[in-house]
Structure 1
Amino acid sequence: MFTGIIQSAGTIAAIDAVDQGVRMRIQCPELAPSDWREGDSVAVSGCCLTALALDGEGFSADLSAETLARTSLGRLRPGDRVNLEPAMALGDRLGGHLVSGHVDGLAEVVDVRPIGESYRLRLRVPEPLARFMAEKGSVTLDGVSLTVNAVEAHEFEVNLIPHTWQVTTLGDLSVGDRVNLEIDLLARYLDRLLQQRGLT
């Protein structure tokens, strides 16, 4: 599990083809990955991956063809930045909201505008996921825990404070870009419960 509080933005150092996918090398010396254990989970722009080949400079992760096809990670190239968050430990402070690292779909940026010192992003979600967007609810974009400010049909808005804009990859976004979207866990389970009871 994760919290959606990004600890660092890493850099893609290499992407090599392997059987049925790729192996991605990510540089992040400020996170001291040599202190991790091989097999630990780490959220890479919101996708839960397994850390391999650890050293003081970074780690590697294997991405399946499914992950490459269904997330924004398949569009990455060497030199691109990614948001990183190692998995939380039991007892850690929960600063954002509970995040699984399982991407539900891709949201498309339809507007980016400054609001004072902050920035307002408007995004369009796939129709099946639109019902999970709720004003003042939680959403995860490229691994970042955010609050939904407004919802209209298949679009929603979030506000980014200057810190988030500067230290995560969300500050690099432009209209037309697509980001990894994870809906709130509570919304997912509530929807499933209501379906089973025939209430949706």
Structure 2
Amino acid sequence: MFTGIIENLGIVEKLEKENGNLHLTFNSSITAELKIDQSVAHNGVCLTVVNIENDNYVVTAIQETLDKTNIGALKVGDLVNIERAMKLGDRLDGHIVQGHVDQTAECISISEEDGSWVFTFEYDKDLSNITIEKGSITVNGVSLTVVNSKINQFSVAIIPYTYEHTTFKTLNVGDKVNLEFDVIGKYVKRLNDLRQ
């Protein structure tokens, strides 16, 4: 389980295809603290550390992950949001995040708002995911609060600290992001759907 509070930015050092899998090598200042078989969220995608060498570590994404996230679109030199799994007993500063991406969305607008930024995203409503006003959403692994919730669209307001310490500073209109919708909201929606 994760919180959506980003610890560090990682840099893609190497990408290596093997059959339907993609091995991704990242450089990060927290590499020395990692261990093999540890779960680490990369842009909100929970991946397992399979190798560590100096300041670099390797994770493997299977075809299912590549099909449903933006991980397969990464290029050498790209930045990713990194978060290690939550320790039992730690504060839950963000919200409950599983590291299981529900779908991707496209950034459709970015506006600067006197020292902060508002990012708006559009997603495929046919996958039956929903947002609610002032509810939680995870965008590329970052725990955020929904504003301007619509059927297939929502916005998030980004403070300067989050902008500088996450990949939001490199995000452009047209970029794809990973979305993990609020787990409690998903269960409520599923129960409601079963009653109908």
- Which has the larger displacement, 127-136 or 105-114? 127-136
- Which has the larger displacement, 150-159 or 92-101? 150-159
CA distance in 1, matches of 2:10, 2:159: 20
Structure 2 unaligned spans of 5+: none
CA distance in 2, matches of 1:3, 1:14: 27
Query: Is the CA contact 2:129–2:186 (under 8 Å) kept in the aligned structure 1?
Result: no
Structure 1 stretches of 4+ with a deviation exceeding 4 A read: none
How far apart are residue 130 of structure 1 and its match? 6.3
Partner of 2:2: 2
Q: How many residues align?
A: 196
CA distance in 1, matches of 2:116, 2:8: 20
Partner of 1:174: 172
Structure 1 unaligned spans of 5+: none
Partner of 2:181: 183
How far apart are residue 85 of structure 1 and its match? 0.1
Partner of 2:19: 19
CA distance in 2, matches of 1:138, 1:171: 21
Partner of 1:105: 103
- Which has the larger displacement, 149-158 or 172-181? 149-158
Q: Report SS of the residue matched to 2:50.
A: coil
Deviations 1:82-108 (A, max 9, x none): 000011111111110000011111111
CA distance in 1, matches of 2:83, 2:154: 24
- 1:88 pairs, out of 86, 89, 99, with 86
Q: Report SS of the residue matched to 1:151.
A: coil
CA distance in 1, matches of 2:71, 2:36: 21
- Which has the larger displacement, 163-172 or 54-63? 54-63
- 2:134 pairs, out of 128, 133, 136, with 136
CA distance in 2, matches of 1:111, 1:20: 33
Partner of 1:70: 68
Structure 1 segment 110-121 matched on structure 2, within 5 A: 110-121=108-119
| Structure 2 residue 147 is matched with structure 1 residue 149 | yes
Query: Is the CA contact 1:130–1:154 (under 8 Å) kept in the aligned structure 2?
Result: no
CA distance in 2, matches of 1:157, 1:190: 22
How far apart are residue 24 of structure 1 and its match? 0.5
RMSD: 1.3
Partner of 1:195: 193
Q: Percent identity?
A: 38
How far apart are residue 56 of structure 1 and its match? 4.1
CA distance in 1, matches of 2:178, 2:16: 22
- Counterpart amino acid of residue 95 in structure 1: D
CA distance in 2, matches of 1:99, 1:138: 10
Query: Is the CA contact 1:46–1:140 (under 8 Å) kept in the aligned structure 2?
Result: yes
How far apart are residue 53 of structure 1 and its match? 1.1
Partner of 2:51: 53
CA distance in 1, matches of 2:14, 2:153: 34
- Which has the larger displacement, 53-62 or 136-145? 53-62
How far apart are residue 184 of structure 1 and its match? 0.2
How far apart are residue 26 of structure 1 and its match? 0.4
CA distance in 2, matches of 1:130, 1:121: 22
